[in-house]
Structure 1
């Protein structure tokens, strides 16, 4: 199994903490935020993990090494400034792994007690399986409609929040070039585009499913949320 941890963000909402420390390396509950994910991935039997990096990229390898501590093989995907967004970052990460196999991808700035091994496998024809959580205060309107059969859609109520944890089939990216942004770089350079439009397109065809996690989840997007989570984990 193979996975990606998104860690290339600039951490602008976390300043001044991220002026000198990359957001996924900020400590919470006694260890860097990203290490909670590595523990979780190791427990589910993942072998290879790509970490995409850009802002303060030089900090990651000294902090995490090659993955031996977790029984993982870590690969570092260096991205230019500005980073490649979620879609471009995932496409580029796949190039370091097996591009024919599904990829588990996790936002590096979330914390959860969801066991990644509980993420459902993709069924034939399915392009993505997303973990959904109850809407937090800062995203009260939610992201996607979650119906009783587990099918996700971009329209309709009630809506839940995407947890930033999902399993993706390579075919989801079959038309990625239609969503790529002009970068001003050479035509053969790395593409930059968001994942959300690809997901919405697949949702229109009924090819994206979700599962509801009712446990703990935090979008560690501000210093205040980081401090609150740290207090909870140490309590």
Structure 2
């Protein structure tokens, strides 16, 4: 699944006339980069959630013959459902019993998705999150076995965790990349959640009784192209 429904407010004025997914990087739209990344890993079925300038995204996919794979859309035109709600809305698509990958359209990386998928399979987790040690203001907290235990706002000191006795100093602080793999059995836990919710809040709710793993491969480059300044840092994208 490619998350492409966002308003792209940090990419204004570019997103005043186009969706974030079609903002060009190295001569190609962000959506093109995401699709090629997934196809290169063997993905042949993709669902894209749409909201902001949804018709432009649909038209782009059709003009490119759906990239010769199965591409469906999850319509959020009436209201944005946030990351968790977006997955819940598209849950009908994940019907083959196999783990599925979620990829933010504004994330560009050189991660080996096949290796990531194998790691997830070996971890026996309901979800595996691509994370790194990059500097940020908000971190996910993991224990020594790379299991999610909490969330930290470094600027305010706020911590979210289902573990009352969580010791912040005993945790590894890692930044989430916006790429994750979920086992379809995790979808049943979303049934009690509202139509709109954050996937991170969801993970923090269920991690006490469901294993949520972190995957932090050495040397992987990743960047969130969520603002204009980020476009200048794309030295590894060709």
Shorter-chain TM range is 0.7 to 0.9
Cα separation, 1, equivalents of 2:145 and 2:52: 40
In structure 2, C-alpha distance between the alignment counterparts of 1:174 and 1:197, rounded to whole Å: 16
Unaligned 5+ residue runs, structure 2?
151-160, 162-167
Partner residue in 2 for 1:129? 128
Q: Is the 8 A contact 2:120 2:127 kept in 1?
A: no
Q: CA deviation at 1:54?
A: 0.4
Which residue in the other structure is 2:198 paired with?
194
Residue number among 106, 110, 113 corresponding to 2:107 in the alignment = 110
Q: Which residue of 2 aligns with 1:78?
A: 75
Match of 2:192 among 166, 171, 178: 178
Cross-structure match for 1:187: none
**C-alpha separation between the residues in 2 aligned to 1:111 and 1:6?**
13
Give the corresponding residue for 1:159: 173
TM-score, length basis structure 1: 0.82
Aligned: 1:48 with 2:45:
yes
* Match of residue 39 from structure 1: 36
CA RMSD of aligned residues (A): 2.3
Aligned to 1:39, what secondary structure does the other structure show? helix
- Could you tell me how far apart the structure 1 residues matched to 2:206 and 2:21 are? 29
Q: Contact 2:21–2:106 at 8 Å: present in 1 too?
A: yes
Give runs of ≥4 in structure 1 deviating > 6 Å: none
**Aligned pairs, number:** 217
Q: In the aligned structure 2, how far is the partner of 1:43 from the partner of 1:102?
A: 17
Structure 1, gaps ≥5 residues long:
181-190
TM-score with structure 2 length normalisation? 0.81
Out of 216, 219, 228, which is 1:223 matched to?
228
The 8 Å contact of residues 52 and 77 in structure 1, kept in 2 or not, is answered as yes
- Is this contact kept in 1: 2:61–2:67, CA < 8 A? no
**What is the rounded CA distance, in whole Å, between the counterparts of 1:123 and 1:115 in structure 2?**
16
